[in-house]
């Protein structure tokens, strides 16, 4: 089993102005994905704000949202040269859709005065996964006021 890890970076994104997908990774028809680490940090925050987030898996035909950006996932291992086969989106203000179902895997409450740090255990069975042609999405199910400027990353491994 390969250990190829990719990171989807997000820098200074304005989140919370709408219901949105903060991070989304859609796998191709021949690979799955497994989460390794997700982190968000808010900048210039002077008041406590609790932000509700969900980690969910989309099955069947998943169409990623729009309104954000489509970064190229970065290879974490400097000696590796194989580009990611999956597609990543950040900060989509129109959320992903599916002809199948969304399954919520985790619920989170993020106090923006502290970093949000989701790092599952090292065993494979502790890490959330998706199968071929599915997606893993960290979303914001409700708009917040005021919006938050955040930076962070979504690290994942492509499964054979």
The three-state (H, E, C) secondary structure of 36-61, written as one string: EEEEEEEECCCCCCEEEEEEEEECCC
Cα 24 from Cα 59, distance rounded (Å): 13
114: CB partners within 8 A, 6+ apart: none
Cα 150 from Cα 134, distance rounded (Å): 26
Q: What is the pTM of this model?
A: 0.94
CB 34 within 8 A of CB 159: yes
In this structure, the chain runs to a length of 160
* pLDDT for res 75: 92
* pLDDT for res 1: 38
CB 158 within 8 A of CB 27: yes
Distances (CA, A) of 154 to 34, 46, 59, 148: 11, 25, 19, 18
Q: What are the extents of the domains in the chain?
A: 22-159
Q: 3-class DSSP state for residue 126? A: helix
* pLDDT for res 90: 97
pLDDT tens, the chain, 160 aa long: 347 899 999 999 999 889 999 999 999 999 999 999 999 999 877 677 889 999 999 998 999 999 999 999 999 988 788 899 999 999 999 999 999 999 999 999 999 999 999 999 988 888 999 999 999 999 999 998 888 999 999 999 999 8
CB 15 within 8 A of CB 45: no
* pLDDT for res 108: 97
Q: 3-class DSSP state for residue 86? A: coil
Phi-psi region of 22 (alpha: psi -120 to 50; beta: other; left: phi over 0): alpha
* pLDDT for res 39: 98
CB 150 within 8 A of CB 42: yes
């Amino acid at each position: 089993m390969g250990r190829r890890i990719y990171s989807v970076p997000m820098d200074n994104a304005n989140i919370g102005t709408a219901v949105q997908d903060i991070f989304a990774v859609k796998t191709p028809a021949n690979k799955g994905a497994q989460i390794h680490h997700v982190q968000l940090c808010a900048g210039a925050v002077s008041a406590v704000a609790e932000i509700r987030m969900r980690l969910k898996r989309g099955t069947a035909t998943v169409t990623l949202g729009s309104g954000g950006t489509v970064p190229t996932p970065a290879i974490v291992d400097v000696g590796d040269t194989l580009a990611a086969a999956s597609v990543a989106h950040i900060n989509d203000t129109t959320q992903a859709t599916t002809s199948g179902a969304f399954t919520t895997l985790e619920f989170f409450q993020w106090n923006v005065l502290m970093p949000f740090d989701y790092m599952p255990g090292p065993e494979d069975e502790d890490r959330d996964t998706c199968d071929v042609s599915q997606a893993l999405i960290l979303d914001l199910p409700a708009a917040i006021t005021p919006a938050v400027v955040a930076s962070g990353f979504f690290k994942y491994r492509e499964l054979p």
